[in-house]
Structure 1
Amino acid sequence: MTQSNTVTVHILDKEYCIACPPDERNNLEGAARYLDGKMREIRSSGKVIGADRIAVMAALNITHDLLHKQHNLDQQTTSTRDQVRDLLERVDHALANDDDAQAH
């Protein structure tokens, strides 16, 4: 990629130049801000020392949140699918009863 396709982001007081397509620039900057915030939270807690360890803890926390949200979304999708299936069965049943009533 050319120099114009690089984005400079700051994460935990360090500067990183990252190759990035122009249409992904805003997403990359948002991700970098989010990561920087998570790493600063961990550093300020004083429980984790060292940039590498802070980065790993931030990655674990972010991954945990992502997997938790994915699991919840999967459960909601299954629940919605079941509700739609139930409604379709009710509609089919109501239509069948309506057809029977009109036949008599």
Structure 2
Amino acid sequence: MSSHAIEISLLGRTYSIACPPGQEKALQHVAEKLEKQLISLKSRTNNLSREEISIMAALNIGYELLEEQQKNQDYNRQMDEKIGLLQSTLENALVERSIKED
């Protein structure tokens, strides 16, 4: 599978970005979300350069990603504990059943 370029617009500039087939909508969605964040940052901080606004947006997105990864790790940890408890409960029930049958 080869990539092809799609065009996205950020802060009035158009960029040609390589995109794997089938991922065009996802890339467009991300570009739209990024554009909204860039516009919001620009409106709040008129004296920053395009580069500084982009760095701030990248840091904000990175922080959001880190938060989601931590939530995911916490969820996985909770599920592992619940699965362990369920396995233990099932094993104990099977042992009790085999003792009663003897």
Compute the TM-score of the two structures, normalised by the length of structure 1: 0.88
* Structure 2 partner of 1:61: 60
Moved over 6 A (4+): none
Compute the TM-score of the two structures, normalised by the length of structure 2: 0.89
In 2: Cα distance, 1:20 partner to 1:87 partner: 43
2:3 counterpart of 1:14: no
* Structure 1 partner of 2:69: 70
In 2: Cα distance, 1:83 partner to 1:54 partner: 44
SS in 1 for 2:23: helix
**Alignment coverage as a number of residue pairs:** 101
In 2: Cα distance, 1:35 partner to 1:25 partner: 15
Amino acid at match of 1:102: E
Task: Report which stretch shifted further, 16-25 or 64-73.
Answer: 16-25
In 1: Cα distance, 2:46 partner to 2:99 partner: 71
* Structure 2 partner of 1:50: 49
SS in 1 for 2:22: helix
In 2: Cα distance, 1:78 partner to 1:34 partner: 30
Once the two structures are TM-superposed, the CA of residue 48 in structure 1 deviates from its matched residue by 5.8
SS in 2 for 1:22: coil
In 2: Cα distance, 1:61 partner to 1:9 partner: 20
> Deviations 1:37-83 (Å, cap 9, x if unpaired)?
11111112226611110000000000000011001101110110011
- Cα–Cα, structure 1 residues 88 and 47, in superposed 2: closer, same or farther, change >3 Å? farther
| Structure 1, unaligned runs of 5 or more | none
In 2: Cα distance, 1:95 partner to 1:31 partner: 50
In 2: Cα distance, 1:73 partner to 1:95 partner: 32
Pairwise CA RMSD: 1.9
Question: Percent of counterpart pairs with the same letter?
Answer: 25
